[in-house]
Amino acid sequence: MRKLQFLPLLVMFFVLQSATTVDPIDSIAELFKQGNSAELTKQMASTLDVSLLRKEETYSNTQAGIILGKFFTQNKPKSVKVLHRVNTSNAYRLGVLLLTTDKGAFRVSFTLNGTKGVLQIIDLRIEAEKA
């Protein structure tokens, strides 16, 4: 009977632990909402594929951060909505966001890949949202 005394405490521990784990897709969505290219750069792999309004190129994370900074300067973010997420693996994630700015709506998709629990953006696409 004494063993069952600690069961509610154990259950609460696991619930709180899982509640405090932040999904990397949600973290990146929040950075897009803030228009924070500096913090997004920290989430990027050393090189990544970037497609921004139909211009595709492979950039260093520094170059990609500069490009994102220009994008955010021209398009002030207002809101972000997570449209789709794939998180079936600890080493691979995919997120699709709807980014609403003062100039219109954009569909943002990104791929996260990594090892040992460190996920980095390896692919980033920003396209005009089709009405």
Distance in angstroms between the alpha carbons of the first and the last residue of the chain: 62
Q: Give tens-digit pLDDT for 58-76.
A: 999 999 999 999 999 999 9
> Strand order of the sheet with strand 118-128?
55-60, 44-52, 118-128, 104-115, 92-101, 77-86
More confident residue, 11 or 70: 70
Q: Give tens-digit pLDDT for 78-123.
A: 999 999 999 888 889 999 999 999 999 999 999 999 877 789 999 9
The pLDDT of residue 97 is 97
- The answer to whether 121 touches 45, Cβ cutoff 8 Å, is yes
pLDDT tier at 8 (50, 70, 90 boundaries)? low
Burial of 48 (0-12, 13-18, 19+ CB in 10 A): buried
Q: Is residue 5 scored above 80 in pLDDT?
A: no
- The answer to whether 47 touches 60, Cβ cutoff 8 Å, is yes
H-helix or E-strand spanning residue 84: strand 77-86
What global pTM score does this model have? 0.81
pLDDT average, residue stretch 44-48: 95
The pLDDT of residue 16 is 52
Q: What is the DSSP letter of 13?
A: H
- The answer to whether 51 touches 125, Cβ cutoff 8 Å, is yes
